[in-house]
Amino acid sequence: MDKIIFVLIYFFLAVLIGVAIVILHIILSEKPKMVEKDKYLPFESGMKPLQPAYNRLPVKFYIYALAFLIFDIEVALLFPYVPLVRDLGKFGFFEIMFFFTVLFLAYIYLRETAVKEK
């Protein structure tokens, strides 16, 4: 029963400190000023913008981003294999070689598509 009292005291103190922080933030924070229209313009070295900032990016940038994500996740999938190398034997070796083959073919495909776009 004594442990429950300490947990309740700790919980009450945590809630009290949290509420105090929120109240202090509300009291001490700056009040919003009048918002100017120029605040939402894109910053271009202090100059007025010449064209809209919302231009479309070429598809090759998305391909590079997706390739990075794919290869990053694929490499992360190798970590469970490392401690089990000896236990898996030949089956594990051929499985990881198949995995690397598919990964290598994806790399070749992405490299070829990137060369064609230039």
Cα–Cα distance measured from residue 113 to residue 27, given in angstroms and rounded to the nearest whole number = 57
The per-residue pLDDT for 103 is: 85
All structural domains of the chain with their residue ranges:
2-117
Task: Indicate the pTM of the whole model.
Answer: 0.44
**Sorting pLDDT into bands at 50, 70 and 90, what band is 15?**
very high
Whether the Cβ atoms of residue 49 and residue 42 lie closer than 8 Å to each other: yes
Q: Per residue in 69-117, pLDDT tens?
A: 888 888 888 888 888 888 888 988 898 899 889 888 888 887 787 666 5
* Residue-level pLDDT at 109: 84
What CATH class does 2-117 carry?
mainly alpha
Helices (H) and strands (E) in the chain, counts: 3, 0
Q: What are phi and psi of 27, to 5 degrees?
A: -70, -45
